[in-house]
Structure 1
Amino acid sequence: MVTGSTLARRALGRELKKLRDAKGMKQSEGGRIIGVSPQTIGRMEDGLPTKVSDLYINALCDGYGANDEQRTALLELALEVRTMAKSGGGWWRAYADELNVGFDHYIGLEEAARKLVIWRGSVVPGVLQTPEYRRAIAWTESPALTPEQVERRVQMAMQRQKRLLDPDFTVEVVLSEFVLRDQIGGPRVVADQLRKLAEIAQLPNVTIRTVPFDSSGHLGSLVGPFALLEFPKLPATGLIEPPVIFVEGFAGDLYLEREPELRRYRDAFTEISRVALDEDTTRQLILSIAKEHGQ
């Protein structure tokens, strides 16, 4: 699997921060070692795009007192980051102008993930959308977009969907029944989207289940939409990046990585799943609602 530079950057930043913390140094002290600002050290440690030359890595290893094994691992990660950057980055870079601020980071994580777990109380997740459904959402979100801009957003959504054909990529989705009945784009668009969901649900690596309206009280009513991403080993070092919870908001997104946060969302998904219909019953419900639209 090609993990791209996103995971390598995250792993590199995480390991550099561990070394700096172990040395009891502040970001400003790390910055002085290589002649950059504390903010640049912060970006590097957060896995955000910034220069990661061997000169910088070796200097930081010297300043932080890294051993040979740690130095080798960091240099391999830095090489992985630069190699991906030279290739132009991920496919989503071509759609950068159409992405909400920061969403390219999520796309990079999704492309690198080995497992994606999703809870949605409204709107079909992007990775499962039909072109017409995605088009309807784009016009609703941003009525001022040009037709060309909308079509680029549709193209990007379809590109994301190619990951579903990767047998090493597992997707587990739980949707509120409201998602199936919400009239985004009108009856024909919704009916087509539902039939697409039923089709995708038959893939061996995809599970789609529904929480019906008549379920008793459950956490899904209180927990907003979120995605849990888990990652494979990095090819260069064998390191495994910790899971990430992605919470998409109207005014901004959250990335949660601390163990208490992860545990809370995992527990919430377990509780929501407990009241969800099984896969076969969900598929029957999806097709039944599509048929109700008379399409």
Structure 2
Amino acid sequence: MSLSGSTLARRALGRELRRLRTHKGIQQAEAARAAETSPQSISRTEEGVTTRLTSFQINALCDLFDASDEERKRLLALQQEVRSARERGGGWWRAYADAQLPSGFDHFLSLEEAAHQFTAWKTGVLPGMLQTPDYRRALAWAEIPQLTPDAVETRIELATRRQVRLEDPKFRMTALLSEAVLREQIGGRAVMGRQLAHLAKMSELQNVSVRVVPFSAARHLGILVGPFSLLEFPVLPQSKLTEPPIVYVEEYAGDLYLEREAEVQRYRAALREIGQVALDEVQSRQMVLAAAEEFGE
């Protein structure tokens, strides 16, 4: 199991522990005493940030919370999943720690690697998994002009590694794109022409859906909500739990991870509305190819 599995297992373990604790009306300080750890450690574990709780500590908390045999078994399975992932080392993206990536982006990469369905609404740039090296290079220098050539190439290598996810038939990607994404001349006309030709080719994959919202489309929520991604996850192998989906909102000054059901449902509704005004896959591919031809590809 990779670190991505650990990310999901940590979230599930923290949520289950918090549910049991609050159901019994027990404070974090009391739980910390029972597990012989600090209240801060309990808090971080419940938030799914990190955990070093042992099986002994999990059992002590189960005793305190009057957990059922099934609940105890589930928590111990989650703890084992976290431990197994930790013993096998970090995810492949840890090798790119020096690439001057945005703060916290490794967390997004772990979620992206764990997801089995990825849906993105983009208004200005293409999703990373669909970008060509030249397109990614132009974006990197636009974002941080002072990046060295080596740092830029490291970012491109990272993006290429991310695209391996598209080779997994169990992984599904849906890209809803504003027509503006096709018209922005990122890197110049030649770069955009090659990028759009690549996008059309990727849209032919069985597990990739690309749909364009033309400028002529009726008004829709996508104009208001801005770009975001919805990540959905498979069942965890040992605990058999399914982690709730996450909405990832990428902002210039910081990112948002939304997982409350009400928040996720609002973004799902936005995706449904955007999908209603988007062209179908065939029409979208034709528009992408036409735009590529306009750019000279």
TM-score normalised by length of structure 2: 0.95
Q: What corresponds to 2:93 in structure 1?
A: 92
Q: Which shifted more, 47-56 or 250-259?
A: 47-56
Q: Give the distance between the partners of 1:209 and 1:81, measured in 2 at CA.
A: 37
Q: What corresponds to 1:218 in structure 2?
A: 220
Q: What corresponds to 1:149 in structure 2?
A: 151
Q: What corresponds to 1:131 in structure 2?
A: 133
- 2:189 aligned to which of 187, 200, 203: 187
Gaps of 5+ in 2: none
Q: Deviations over 1:255-280 (max 9, x none)?
A: 11111111111111111111111111
Q: What corresponds to 1:75 in structure 2?
A: 76
Q: What corresponds to 2:62 in structure 1?
A: 61
Aligned-pair distance for 1:25?
1.6
- 1:5–1:85 Cα contact (<8 Å) kept: yes
- 1:4–1:89 Cα contact (<8 Å) kept: no
1:239 aligns with 2:224: no
Matched to 1:60, the amino acid is: L
Q: Give the distance between the partners of 1:52 and 1:96, measured in 2 at CA.
A: 26
Query: Does the residue aligned with 1:97 lie in a helix, a strand or coil?
Result: coil
Q: Give the distance between the partners of 1:76 and 1:35, measured in 2 at CA.
A: 21
Q: Give the distance between the partners of 1:32 and 1:100, measured in 2 at CA.
A: 37
Q: Give the distance between the partners of 1:53 and 1:128, measured in 2 at CA.
A: 41
- 1:4–1:112 Cα contact (<8 Å) kept: yes
Aligned-pair distance for 1:28?
2.6
TM-score normalised by length of structure 1: 0.96
- 2:77–2:238 Cα contact (<8 Å) kept: yes
- 1:102 aligned to which of 97, 100, 104: 104
Q: Give the distance between the partners of 2:158 and 2:75, measured in 1 at CA.
A: 33
Gaps of 5+ in 1: none
Give the 5 Å matches for 1:133-282: 133-282=135-284
Aligned-pair distance for 1:216?
2.1
Aligned-pair distance for 1:46?
1.6
Matched to 2:239, the amino acid is: T
Matched to 1:57, the amino acid is: I
Q: Give the distance between the partners of 1:37 and 1:121, measured in 2 at CA.
A: 45
- 1:128–1:197 Cα contact (<8 Å) kept: yes
Query: Does the residue aligned with 1:84 lie in a helix, a strand or coil?
Result: helix
Q: Deviations over 1:119-150 (max 9, x none)?
A: 01111111111111111111111112222211
Matched to 1:76, the amino acid is: A
Matched to 1:288, the amino acid is: A
The percentage of aligned residue pairs carrying the same residue is 56
Q: What corresponds to 2:44 in structure 1?
A: 43
- 2:5–2:236 Cα contact (<8 Å) kept: no
- 2:10–2:51 Cα contact (<8 Å) kept: no
Aligned-pair distance for 1:281?
0.9
Q: Deviations over 1:227-253 (max 9, x none)?
A: 111111100011111111111111111
